[in-house]
Amino acid sequence: MPFPIHRKRRLRVSESMRRLVRESRLDPAQFILPLFVCPGEGVRKPISSMPGNFQLSVDELVKECEGAHALGIGGVILFGIPDLKDDIASGAYADDGIVQVALRALKNAIPNLLLITDVCNCEYTSHGHCGKVIDQDGTVDNDATLEWLAASSVSHARAGADIVAPSDMMDGRVAAIRAGLDQNGLQKTAILAYAAKFASAFYGPFREAAESAPQFGDRRTYQMDPANGREAMHEMDLDFEEGADMLMVKPAMPYLDLIRQAHDRFPVPIAAYQVSGEFSMLMAAVERGWLEYERAMMESLTSIHRAGAGIILTYFARDAARLLG
């Protein structure tokens, strides 16, 4: 038999053939759209470094979510921008906090939309760190922060969150949150742990969007060193053992190797967060005419999915769902 030199190209001859042999497919149901909610009414304030994204007041957020829900996306994740920040992050766990108010409005307006909340303190602290700061360098007290995280999770769940997603990177937070939820009869609320979250330059635009940049120091004493892959698996092991229902790698594209390892290692759903900087760098190139928008967007999402993420948090959720629909 002659060597089958045309075997590969035969499977690429037409779109029908390519479609038949395609190994991974994207589905709007796997996209989670991140949204920023702020006080006020009729507020739709553009985020300059993230074209097409806004700080939304609750009424505008409901409209945005109706649109996203109609496109069939999997759900939304909410980030709050409170009126007031203080050194104990009180807005994070107040029952009338901005995220809690938004959750009630959304559950009421769109009962079937899956609601996820980011559980962290950096948007609520005056210093912009993710927990209780105990010295000038921005050192965060792990155990005191756990109490805030559990309290925030309970108040989010009571207000309608289906999933809480801790992004603070304190040790032991998944166990503390699970215990807090269970003690309050909130067994049905799931935990999506930002398990391997790196101290990344790619969060830059988000910190403008969420007004959460640290006022001093940085997050390297709690977020992971980008060089460490084995440690990422250890972080994920711990969150899994502590009871996380789903595990996340964040950012996504610079860490595709870890998404693949996590997929092969854990029996729970793996999520990846295509973060603000990943979105913004692509959009900036698109605006300059250097990249084709739709192709670059879909290729980036496909690569994250192919690497092993069943769930993708992405600022492209709406447009990608529209294209797939």
Residue 189 interacting with ligand PBG (CB under 6 A): no
From the candidates 8, 63, 132, 250, which is the catalytic residue? Answer: 250
CB of 51 to ligand PBG, least distance (A): 14
Q: Which of 45, 107, 188, 197 is catalytic?
A: 197
Single out the residue of 76, 98, 130, 232 in contact with ligand PBG (rule: CB under 6 A): 130
- Contact of 53 with 140, CB cutoff 8 Å: no
Q: Mark whether 63 is an active-site residue.
A: no
* 164 binding ligand PBG? (CB under 6 A): no
Name which of 122 and 271 has its Cβ closer to ligand PBG.
Answer: 122
Which member of 124, 198, 206, 222 binds ligand PBG (CB under 6 A)? 206
Active site residue 250: yes
120 binds ligand PBG (CB under 6 A): yes
Could you tell me the smallest distance in angstroms from the CB atom of residue 194 to ligand PBG?
7
Among the candidate windows 96-104, 200-208, 228-236, 292-300, which touches ligand PBG by CB under 6 A?
Answer: 200-208
> Binder to ligand PBG among 103, 275, 282, 311 (CB under 6 A)?
275
Q: φ and ψ at 201, to 5 degrees?
A: -70, -20
Choice between 206 and 240, CB closer to ligand PBG: 206
Residue 203 sits in the site that holds ligand PBG (CB under 6 A):
yes
167 is an interface residue for ligand PBG by CB under 6 A:
yes
Residue 45 backbone dihedrals phi, psi, to 5 degrees: -95, 115
Active-site amino acid positions: 197, 250
Q: Which positions lie near ligand PBG, rule CB under 6 A?
A: 118, 120, 122, 130, 167, 203, 206-207, 219, 275-276
